[in-house]
Amino acid sequence: MTLPKFTAGQVGKLEFHHLNEAFERIERLDGNPALVAASGPVLGRVILVRITGQNGSGNAIKGSFQEVALSAVGSNSYVAVSGGVTSAVSGDTYGAPIVFPCSAIGTIVPVLGHIAHDGKLYFRECAGVSSAAGVRAGRITASTQITANTKWLYTLTDVRVNTLSAGTYTATGVGSFQALNGCEEAVDSVANRNIGVGTIHVVGSTATRQPIKNNTIVVCTETLGGFVFSVPNGYAFTCT
């Protein structure tokens, strides 16, 4: 569908170039009913969403989301909006995604919809989101060796404090993620027995670095390529 273009004219504050811009947006959406339906309720307004998934990495990362609202003012509890906006278009979970930068899964963020030059709908997180957007607590559930006795890739489940006074945690239900332990970058010295982040073990013994135990709760920070935490490793000692 090709709409007319105007070179002059004005009705109140509505000028000819405003109409031309609107017509160009309609033309870019034309032929994609699903995109028209998805973009209609969101363009030009900020909505609150929970990030439900991520795909890709670095500058190419995409986030899926679902619109949410407070269950009650002052509750600090968010629920999905019935019939609300999501990132899914025609069965594609990332059909209208949040693009880089994308906060951690489970984060509540305000987003604004845009139309890309190729006519596709996408979202950007609004400036001023919580400084904790890239921080998440997790319970270690598995470790996969990267370098023998040196470094592991950890799988974690998102958790939150359940009862502060009882010191208990519960899973948030948003899924698992992976992270590296920054303390494993330290190189162990066999010659002077300096291991880990600065431990000196006794003469006549050897030390072998161990992965962080399952069920350990760690706080992870998001970097450009993924999540990192820093917890000193335990060691197995053998007398020689």
pLDDT at 59: 77
CA distances from 221 to 50, 127, 170, 182 (A): 18, 19, 20, 11
Do 164 and 174 meet the contact criterion of CB atoms below 8 Å apart?
no
Whether omega before 4 lies within 30 degrees of 0, making that bond cis, reads no
Provide the CB-side half-sphere exposure for 10 (13 A, CA).
Answer: 3
Domain segments of the chain as ranges: 31-125, 135-239
Q: What's the DSSP call for residue 106?
A: T
Q: What is the pLDDT of residues 96-106, one digit of tens each?
A: 999 988 877 88
Angle formed at CA 237 by CA 154 and CA 213, multiple of 5 degrees: 25
Maximal C-alpha separation, the chain: 92
**What pLDDT score was predicted for residue 13?**
66
Does residue 136 have a pLDDT over 80?
Answer: yes
Q: What per-residue confidence (pLDDT) applies to 100?
A: 86
**Percent of the chain surpassing pLDDT 90:** 41
> How high is the pLDDT of residue 38?
54
For 153-174, write each residue's pLDDT tens digit.
999 998 888 888 888 988 876 6
Report which DSSP code applies to 45. S
Give the pLDDT band of residue 115 (cuts 50, 70, 90).
confident
132 pLDDT higher than 50 = no
Mean pLDDT, residues 195-203 taken together: 92
Residues 132 and 173: beta-carbon distance below 8 Å: no
Q: What is the mean pLDDT of the chain?
A: 82
pLDDT band per the 50, 70, 90 thresholds, residue 5: low
Q: Is the pLDDT of residue 137 over 50?
A: yes
Rounded-to-integer distance, Cα 129 and Cα 192, Å: 47
Tokens of 54: 């991520």
Lowest-confidence region among 15-19, 54-58, 73-77: 15-19
Q: pLDDT grade, residue 83 (50/70/90)?
A: confident
Nearest Cα to Cα of residue 106 among 162, 57, 52, 160: 52
Q: Is the pLDDT of residue 133 over 60?
A: no
